[in-house]
Amino acid sequence: MEGRLLARARARQEALRADNRLEEARRRAEIAAAIPEINDIEIRLRRHMTELVGLALGEKGRGADALEEENLALQAKRAALLRAHGYPEDYLAPICTCPLCRDTGWRDERICECLTALYKQEQTRELAPLLRHGDETFDAFRLDYYSPEPQREGQRAPRDQMRTVLAVCRAWAESFGESSPNLLFTGAPGLGKTFLSAAIARVVAEGGAGVAYDTVTGLLGAFEREKFSRDSDEQNEAASRVRQLMSCDLLILDDLGTEMPTVFTQSALYTLLDGRLRAGKKTIISTNLGYEAIAERYGAALASRLRGEYEWLEFLGRDIRALRKERG
């Protein structure tokens, strides 16, 4: 699990606990007004608690058995009163959102399902900019947008090529793990690179791995704020985003080549991609650039890493954004 997201999931659980305490207080006030006799019972139950604590500390008093017996009688009376006024018997009992772990998030030193569920929600929220349309799944990936005829001599027909690309991506997502290769999607605009990235992200995140998505421009923005921001909150936020981008299990880095090239951006990108390679973390890069253009823009060191350590998938066809417009 990824620390930043886990911290957010825990904060949400903490908020649920606080809501439950508020609701308990509200119910006590409601019952105090509706059934005044219950106040008396509550006060005596509380006094018994104090007495029990005193007994445990060695003070003299009634025996614990007698107290216990009286407690049960008081509790039965409270339940009967609640019922008589049309409330559930346990209306004044502590409220837990998750009875399995009593809202602690842990069961037998393992993470409880409720916290895992909150964590998954945080992860999906994190991917929201990528998954916002909701329909980018492998099953929704249409091949009929791609021509069955080769566009250029000696090239595969786009539809054949994209059928292969789709199959590779689907298998890659389903078997995501340590031995997965990195992927590089290259091709002209509007050919489904971001679409397939989203389909992969969904499947891999559902499998429980930490997935982050960003455009190169967005990522460089975080690097810049971490390094140059004068606002310490902004700087901390950026630093934790950078840590996540550096260390998540799968990073989807979109639109390589659209950022403003500067010495800073070149070196930040190199550091990130080289660091992830060393750590064995997987990356998917999308770009409109081919190998030559990448080498020219980013230099031989980065280009050769991308060539040697990434499986390149070439996207072919005609801009689907334009096709859709034509077809109306």
Among 7, 100, 143, 188, binds Zn ion (CB under 5 A): 100
Total residues in contact with Mg ion, by rule CB under 5 A = 2
Q: Name the burial class of residue 235, with classes exposed (0-12), middle (13-18) and buried (19+) by CB atoms within 10 angstroms of its CB.
A: middle
Over the window 194 to 233, marking each residue x when it contacts Mg ion by CB under 5 A and - when it does not, the resulting string is: x---------------------------------------
DSSP state of 179: T
What angle (nearest 5°) sits at the alpha carbon of residue 16, between those of residues 11 and 22?
125
Dist. CA 316–CA 39, nearest whole Å: 75
**Nearest distance, CB of residue 155 and ligand ATP, angstroms:** 17
- 169 part of the interface to Zn ion, by CB under 5 A: no
* Binding string, residues 119-148; x marks residues near Zn ion by CB under 5 A: ------------------------------
State the Cα–Cα distance between residues 309 and 305, nearest whole angstrom.
6
The distance of closest approach from Cβ of residue 190 to Mg ion in the complex, given in angstroms and rounded to an integer, is 8
> Residue 310 CB, nearest distance to Mg ion (Å)?
17
Q: Are strands 110-111 and 106-107 parallel, antiparallel or unpaired?
A: antiparallel
User: Smallest distance from the beta carbon of 238 to Mg ion, in angstroms?
Assistant: 24
Beta bridge partners of 287: 186, 256
> 98 touches which of Zn ion, Mg ion, ligand ATP, none (CB within 5 to 8 A by kind)?
Zn ion
Q: Is residue 287 part of the contact set for Mg ion (CB under 5 A)?
A: no
Instruction: Specify the residue for token string 């982050």.
Output: 212
Please report how close the Cβ of residue 185 comes to ligand ATP at its closest, in angstroms: 7
The total of other beta-carbon atoms located within 10 Å of residue 203's CB is 19
**CB half-sphere exposure, 198, CA atoms < 13 A:** 18
When the beta carbons of 54 and 189 are compared against ligand ATP, the nearer one is 189
Out of 5, 112, 216, 302, the only residue in the binding site for Zn ion (CB under 5 A) is 112
Which of these ranges, 87-95, 165-173, 192-200, 218-226, lies near Mg ion under the rule CB under 5 A? 192-200
Q: Which residues contact 54 (CB under 8 A, 6 or more apart)?
A: 61
Q: Does 13 bind Mg ion (CB under 5 A)?
A: no
Buried b (16+ CB within 10 A) or exposed e, 171-184: ebbeebeeebebbb
SS3 95: coil
The span from the CA of 182 to the CA of 310, in Å, is 5
User: How far apart, in whole angstroms, are the C-alpha atoms of residue 217 and residue 225?
Assistant: 12
Nearer to Zn ion, 119 or 315 (CB): 119
Give 157's DSSP letter.
Answer: P
Binding residues for Mg ion restricted to 230-259, rule: CB under 5 A: none
- Give me the residue whose beta carbon is nearest to ligand ATP: 192
Whether 205 contacts 175, CB under 8 Å: no
- Rule CB under 5 A: say whether 302 interacts with Zn ion: no
> Which single residue is written with the structure tokens 């837990």?
96
Among residues 172, 159, 179, 162, which one has the least CA distance to residue 202?
172
Q: Which residues bind ligand ATP (CB under 6 A)?
A: 141-142, 145, 189-195, 255, 286, 288, 320-321
Selection from Zn ion, ligand ATP, Mg ion, none that 172 binds (CB < 5 to 8 A by kind) is none
Q: From the list Mg ion, ligand ATP, Zn ion, none, which binds 100 (C-beta under 5 to 8 Å, kind-based)?
A: Zn ion
Residue of the chain from 31, 82, 92, 101 that contacts Zn ion (CB under 5 A): 101
Of residues 7 and 43, the one with the C-beta less far from Zn ion: 7
Tokens linked to 71: 């407690």
Q: In angstroms, give the least distance from the CB of 119 to Zn ion.
A: 12
- Site residues (vs Zn ion, CB under 5 A): 98, 100-101, 112, 114
